[in-house]
Structures are given as structure tokens and as C-alpha cells.
Amino acid sequence: MIDSHPAANIFPPMTEPEYAALKADIQAGSLSHLSTSQRAMVVVRIELYNKHIAKERAADKEAWIYRARLDFQPGQRLSCAVCDKYQGVCHAHHVLPLSLQYDLGLTSPIQEFHWVCPTHHAAFHLVITSLLNNVGLSLKGFPPEEIDRIHEITVDFTKLYIDRKYACSEVENVA
């Protein structure tokens, strides 16, 4: 059973295509034969189902990222690709973060990465978030040569992201 909400007993469990069709009918106003309370219950069921699917997808994403990290073999830790310091504490930063790879529908992870210190690792994720959300970001406080290097590596991200996003939309258009 998908849920234990009281509305679950009013309508029998549905398959994903049935939910999609029902949701489309509601949006098109095609359920006028139902009473207001029946339509409300249908909406509740759909929302409960959507929450269930969201939980499943989140679990799938977490498992995919976990497997990708297990398979990742970065080799010997190097100095930061931006400041050339802090070899002992550098993180392997995937050029295209694993979370985004999953969201783009990749079945095999792209393991291209750079070694970066914690400060620059955080900076990359801020830059990526600002790019994806079309929000400005200031890297004030970083030396100009580090900003230049961050931008160079961000270009790698942008190329990979656009290539994968375009490739995924090509597949969707063919289907």
C-alpha cells in the first residue's frame, strides 16, 4: 500500500499511468461528474502518490551516488588545482557533481575531477549553484589568479553540463 492516509481507503491503489491520467483529467476539468469531496480525495491520493515517488527517487539517487563514490579511484592526493597548496586536505571535486549527473539521467558517472582544498571546493559549489540558479556571485576576497583558475575549471563544468543536458534532451526528443 502506498500510504496509510485515511483517503487511501476511498480509492483503490493505482498504477503510475493511472495516476498520470487521473491527474491530467483533473487539470483538464474532466472530473465534473465527481462531487467536490470526491475530487478533493482524488487530489489527496495524487499528492500522497507524488510524495511516495519522490521518496523512491531520492533513495535511488542516494544509492546511485553511493555506488559512483565506491567506484571512484582518484589516485594519490595532489595539491589544490586553484592555489597549489594544502595537499594533505584536498578533496576530489567532480567537475560535474555526482548529484547533477544523476539529475541529468546519466547511467554511468563521469569521474573527471580536480583536487581542491576545502575553501576552493566550497567556492566551486557556490559558483555551480549560482550558475544553475542564474544568480550573481562575487568571489571578492580571492586573489585574482585564483578567481581566474576557478573560472577556468568552471568552464569545464559548463561544457560537461551543457553537453550532458543537450544529450539528455536529444534522447527525450527521440522517444
The percentage of residues in the chain with a pLDDT greater than 90, rounded to a whole number, is 49
CA–CA dist 8, 11 (Å, integer): 6
Question: Phi, psi at residue 93, to the nearest 5°?
Answer: -100, 115
Q: How long a stretch of residues is the chain?
A: 175
Question: Phi, psi at residue 160, to the nearest 5°?
Answer: -60, -45
For the stretch 90-132, pLDDT in tens is 999 999 999 999 999 999 999 999 999 999 999 999 999 998 8
Residue 130, C-beta contacts closer than 8 angstroms, at least 6 positions apart: 136, 137
pLDDT computed for residue 125 by the predictor? 93
User: What's the mean pLDDT in 36-51?
Assistant: 78
Is pLDDT at 2 greater than 60 in this prediction? no
Q: Supply the mean pLDDT for the chain.
A: 84
CA–CA dist 146, 158 (Å, integer): 18
For the stretch 123-160, pLDDT in tens is 999 999 998 888 888 888 999 999 999 999 999 899 88
pLDDT computed for residue 9 by the predictor? 52
For the stretch 44-53, pLDDT in tens is 777 877 888 8
